Chains A and B, each alone.
Chain A
Amino acid sequence: MPTMLRVGLAETIAYRAEMIVWILTTTMPLVMLSLWTSVADEAPFRAYTQADFVAYYLGALIVRNLTSNWVAWQIAEEIRMGTLSMRLLRPVHPFASFLATHLAALPLRLVVITPVVGILFLTAARDVVIDDPARIGLFVLAMAGAWLLTFAVFLAIGSLSFFLEKSMSLVEVYFGLFMLMSGYLIPIDLMPPWMATAAEWLPFRYMLGAPVEILIGRYPDAAAVAPVVARTWAWAAVMVAAAAVSWRAGVRRFEAYGA
């Protein structure tokens, strides 16, 4: 694994320009930020003050950048080009090699979002962000869970490329649902109750909204945070299993039909 991570990092560095451009194009939270801060200009909107909104959307920007990946595109491309064969002939599970590549991209992502973190602590939003070790610890766990959950969702979507020629159009469908139900556009506690309830039960919230809510102190204490982290990891486990099943079926098909 250390060598796989090192080579993954070398690859990330080789693609640094593309990666930085890609990260910088994640601007949606900034658009929403300007919208909501003007809404909350004079008085808080429901339970959100202007500082809450700033903290929420900067938090969303950080979480989104740290958790996103391109593994679905990678799998689709390798299936299309037939280079997946080379991966299948190595005595290591392809998930492990994909995992190494994507974990290795994290340091660069951390560097790129550092200014956003800086801004977060330079504004009034810093008063909103949690500062007790218990909740910070749980936030890190929630982030790790969100990362794994997002990675597994894209592994599962990528695995569908074994069955569908244009599986990447599924990413569009996924992304539409994600925008609505994850809290990416609107914080979940500002949604109509039925939607908030639905979001509670779907996985999307645990990829973004949940860690952001934890970060900006929407949960009073560690006891209130713990079940959210537990649900994040439960969803991550479910999606890893789903990705594994989908991958296995896909590879069977690949072995039957070739590429």
Chain B
Amino acid sequence: MIQVRDLKKHFKVHKRPPGLAAALRSVVHRTYTTVKAVDGVSFTIERGERVGFLGPTGAGKTTTLKVLSGLLHPTAGEVSVAEHRPQKRAAAFLRQITLVMGQKQQLIWDLPPAETWSLNRAVFGVAPAEFDRTLAELTELLDLKELSQKPTRQLSLGERMKCELAAALLHKPTTLFLDEPTIGLDVAMQVTIREFIREYNQRHDATVMLTSHYMDDVVALCPRVIVIDGGRLIHDGDLRALVKSMMPDKRVSFAGAMAADVIERLGRLVTQDSARTTIEVPEDRLREVIGHLLAGEGIGDLAIEDPPLEDVMRKLFKSKTADAS
């Protein structure tokens, strides 16, 4: 369980304008500004939940994850993860959590991943039999067989990420902080990682908190999302409810041509090219519009979808910024 009460993390940052004169001046007189990376955020996540943690770049996502995993001391507020205060970094706490950062790695670069795994086994005090069992399970879920003996530097980005995840999970943590775990990976690999995270969560009743720039990750994995912007919480709740409240209209797309005035009567045009047309339709008119389309000649390949989460987020951030000003 993760409990966060009014968490604040402020950084004092040395400010220096460009230029030699400014550089010299900053030697004797330094000016600082306070950056409020996280500014009063509260939430509770129950054991076994999968939560998407979203926000634009610089919103405070990584800072929050670093506080939760014990790497950063909070400036103010109360944080409890698996009944520990993370900033103490007690061994019992570290054995229960893991932090995976898509941009940082823990695998030893010039040795095969198996070496890092056995190092982690020793450091986390995992019993050999238990280790073998977990490794066999991870090897099966992530298809690691061919990778464990190759030097890390020879692995592709996706292969390396799979081995990173294995290294991060060998001690069977119950709380997973995943910061952009799929960054830079191709679509097939993203799907593999995603399925693996879900499987791990279900097998071990593990709590998962995930940030990702790929909204597909979030849609596929997280029933609940927490959204922050400018260090403040702007949404916490069910993902579908968020989509519905921000963009209640459904997207209907179809193949085939249709006159502009007809489209206008059916809904709002989103995109149109020679092959395909996409319109937005309020949910209560959906039945009527579909009926009309199905009756129409030369119309086919009909699809109804929620608007993409990217658009929902864009709208959410824009509306919050407008509120603030």
Which residues of chain A have a CB within 8 Å of any CB of chain B? 1-4, 7, 10-11, 14-15, 81-83, 85-86, 88-92, 97, 252, 254-258
- The CA-CA distance from A2 to B121 in the complex, in Å, is 12
Taking a contact as CB atoms under 8 Å apart, the answer to whether A258 and B71 are in contact is yes
Taking a contact as CB atoms under 8 Å apart, the answer to whether B111 and A91 are in contact is no
* In the assembled complex, B106 has its CB within 8 A of some CB on chain A: yes
* Chain A residues within an 8 Å CB radius of B85: none
- The CA-CA distance from A186 to B157 in the complex, in Å, is 52
Interface residues of B in 34-82 (CB under 8 A from A): 63, 66, 69-73
* In the assembled complex, B94 has its CB within 8 A of some CB on chain A: yes
Interface of B is mostly: mixed
Closest to A254 in B: B71
B interface residue count range (under 10 / 10 to 19 / 20 to 34 / 35 or more): 35 or more
Taking a contact as CB atoms under 8 Å apart, the answer to whether B110 and A89 are in contact is no
Question: Do A83 and B11 contact each other (CB < 8 Å), given the known contacts A11-B110, A90-B124?
Answer: no
Taking a contact as CB atoms under 8 Å apart, the answer to whether A86 and B104 are in contact is yes
Among the listed B104, B123, B151, which residue makes an inter-chain contact with A85, where contact means beta carbons less than 8 Å apart?
B104
Closest to A252 in B: B73
The 16 listed contacts between A and B (C-beta, < 8 Å) are A2-B122, A3-B119, A7-B111, A88-B70, A88-B89, A89-B70, A89-B97, A89-B98, A90-B120, A90-B124, A91-B94, A91-B123, A91-B124, A257-B12, A258-B66, A258-B71
* Chain B residues within an 8 Å CB radius of A258: 11, 63, 66, 71-72
Taking a contact as CB atoms under 8 Å apart, the answer to whether A89 and B11 are in contact is no
Taking a contact as CB atoms under 8 Å apart, the answer to whether A83 and B118 are in contact is no
- The CA-CA distance from A83 to B106 in the complex, in Å, is 7
Instruction: Known pairs A90-B124, A258-B11, A258-B66; list 15 more (Cβ under 8 Å).
Output: A1-B122, A10-B115, A14-B110, A14-B111, A82-B104, A83-B105, A83-B106, A89-B99, A97-B123, A254-B71, A255-B71, A255-B72, A255-B73, A258-B63, A258-B71
* In the assembled complex, B91 has its CB within 8 A of some CB on chain A: yes
Taking a contact as CB atoms under 8 Å apart, the answer to whether B94 and A89 are in contact is yes
* In the assembled complex, B84 has its CB within 8 A of some CB on chain A: no
Taking a contact as CB atoms under 8 Å apart, the answer to whether A3 and B87 are in contact is no
* Chain B residues within an 8 Å CB radius of A4: 119, 122-123
* Chain B residues within an 8 Å CB radius of A252: 73
Taking a contact as CB atoms under 8 Å apart, the answer to whether A89 and B73 are in contact is no
- The CA-CA distance from A2 to B123 in the complex, in Å, is 11
- The CA-CA distance from A97 to B73 in the complex, in Å, is 23
- The CA-CA distance from A81 to B119 in the complex, in Å, is 21
* Chain B residues within an 8 Å CB radius of A15: 110
Closest to A6 in B: B118
Shortest distance from the beta carbon of B131 to any chain A beta carbon, whole Å: 11
* In the assembled complex, B108 has its CB within 8 A of some CB on chain A: yes
